[in-house]
């Protein structure tokens, strides 16, 4: 069993966005279990395959802090057919990355998300054409207003790619909204989901808006792809790029599911 788990996910990066960049399907293994159960234990709600606990690539328990989230993980394992396809298990990959890569590194992970704030996608606007300028304003201006009103962060906008130094007060206000309590398992999972959304969209502000339920995952994805969608309309579709984009969107949806399902069970695991 141990060798099988290591084989399944050992080549999956801890950061699920790196898996999205690769957009490749790993070699699949034949399904080796019949039953998937959710079990309650010291680490939260874990998974068992035919009674045997599921482990992460680092040999930690694959356990979620809410039963609803554990059931969603179990559904991914139940949905596997004759062969197990890790590329079709974005929630499991994200759970592995949070448990193995965020639990012991909450500070550095939060700091990486914070770095996006100083050069956030939503701050840099096109000078032309008029249609693109209007689309960026429609998608991003409400987020700038939300950051001002909800977070107390007054950001400065720029044109083109010239770097714009943001007020330290604005950066500090936005940083304060990033989860960072390494002693709270739900905060760790929220941080992991936030980090994934940030790196997939190029915007910590978009990720914070999802975290605070200002944007849905679909709205956030659309806001992050204003420029790309404009270019595809102008120059045509790129099928390979769209395939990779679909893979990244699955990672984005997994992060959104983590945030949503954590809200369904406000009590800490015991």
Cis peptide before 129 (omega within 30 of 0): yes
Q: Where is the domain boundary, 46, 62, 88?
A: 88
User: In CATH, what number is assigned to the domain containing residue 180?
Assistant: 1.10.3580.10
Half-sphere exposure of 239 (CA within 13 A, CB side): 0
Query: Has residue 14 got a pLDDT over 50?
Result: no
Residues 234, 192 share a domain: yes
Banded pLDDT at 35 (limits 50, 70, 90): very high
> What percent of the chain has pLDDT above 70?
88
Domain that holds residue 26: 2-88
CA angle 42, 261, 265 (to 5 degrees): 55
The answer to whether residue 269 is domain-embedded is no
Residues 171, 46 share a domain: no
pTM of structure: 0.88
Q: What are phi and psi of 266, to 5 degrees?
A: -70, -15
Question: pLDDT tens digit string along 207-219?
Answer: 999 999 999 999 9
The answer to whether residue 97 is domain-embedded is no
Residues 122, 82 share a domain: no
Selection from 205, 209, 122 nearest residue 164 by Cα: 122
Q: Which residues pair with 55 in a beta bridge?
A: 61
Residues 158, 33 share a domain: no
Q: Give me the pLDDT at residue 3, please.
A: 43
The answer to whether residue 270 is domain-embedded is no
User: How many other CB atoms sit within 10 Å of the CB of residue 78?
Assistant: 11
Domain count, the chain: 2
Q: Give me the pLDDT at residue 236, please.
A: 82
Residues 145, 46 share a domain: no
> In whole angstroms, what is the distance from residue 56 CA to residue 100 CA?
7
Is 203:115 a contact under the CB 8 Å cutoff? no
The answer to whether residue 32 is domain-embedded is yes
Residue whose structure tokens are 């008029």 = 130
Q: Give me the pLDDT at residue 258, please.
A: 98
The answer to whether residue 101 is domain-embedded is no
The answer to whether residue 96 is domain-embedded is no
Question: pLDDT tens digit string along 103-153?
Answer: 999 999 999 999 999 999 999 999 999 999 999 999 999 999 999 999 999
Residues 158, 39 share a domain: no
User: In CATH, what number is assigned to the domain containing residue 81?
Assistant: 3.30.2180.10
Mean pLDDT of the 59-78 span = 96
The answer to whether residue 93 is domain-embedded is no
The answer to whether residue 240 is domain-embedded is yes
Residues 201, 154 share a domain: yes
> In whole angstroms, what is the distance from residue 38 CA to residue 46 CA?
6
110 contacts: CB under 8 Å, gap ≥ 6 = 178, 179, 180, 191, 195
């Amino acid at each position: 069993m141990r060798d099988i788990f290591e084989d399944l996910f050992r080549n999956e990066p801890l950061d699920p966005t790196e898996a999205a960049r690769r957009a490749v399907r790993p070699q699949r293994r034949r399904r080796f279990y019949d039953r998937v159960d959710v079990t309650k234990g010291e680490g939260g709600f874990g998974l068992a395959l035919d009674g045997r606990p599921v482990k992460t690539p680092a040999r930690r328990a694959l356990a979620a802090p809410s039963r609803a989230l554990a059931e969603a993980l179990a559904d991914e394992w139940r949905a596997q057919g004759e062969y197990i396809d890790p590329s079709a298990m974005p929630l499991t990959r994200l759970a592995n990355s949070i448990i193995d890569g965020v639990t012991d590194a909450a500070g550095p992970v939060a700091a990486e998300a914070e770095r996006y704030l100083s050069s956030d996608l939503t701050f840099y606007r096109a000078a032309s054409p008029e249609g693109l300028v209007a689309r960026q304003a429609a998608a991003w201006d409400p987020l700038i207003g939300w950051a001002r009103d909800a977070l107390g962060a007054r950001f400065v906008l720029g044109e083109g790619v010239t770097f714009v130094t943001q007020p330290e007060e604005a950066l500090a206000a936005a940083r304060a909204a990033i989860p960072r309590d390494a002693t709270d398992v739900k905060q760790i999972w929220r941080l992991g989901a936030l980090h994934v959304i940030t790196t997939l969209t190029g915007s910590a502000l978009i990720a914070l808006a999802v975290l605070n339920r200002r944007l849905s995952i679909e709205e956030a994805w659309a806001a992050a792809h204003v420029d790309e969608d404009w270019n595809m309309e102008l120059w045509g579709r790129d099928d390979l790029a769209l395939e990779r984009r679909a893979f990244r969107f699955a990672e984005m949806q997994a992060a959104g599911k983590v945030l949503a399902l954590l809200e369904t069970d406000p009590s800490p695991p015991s």
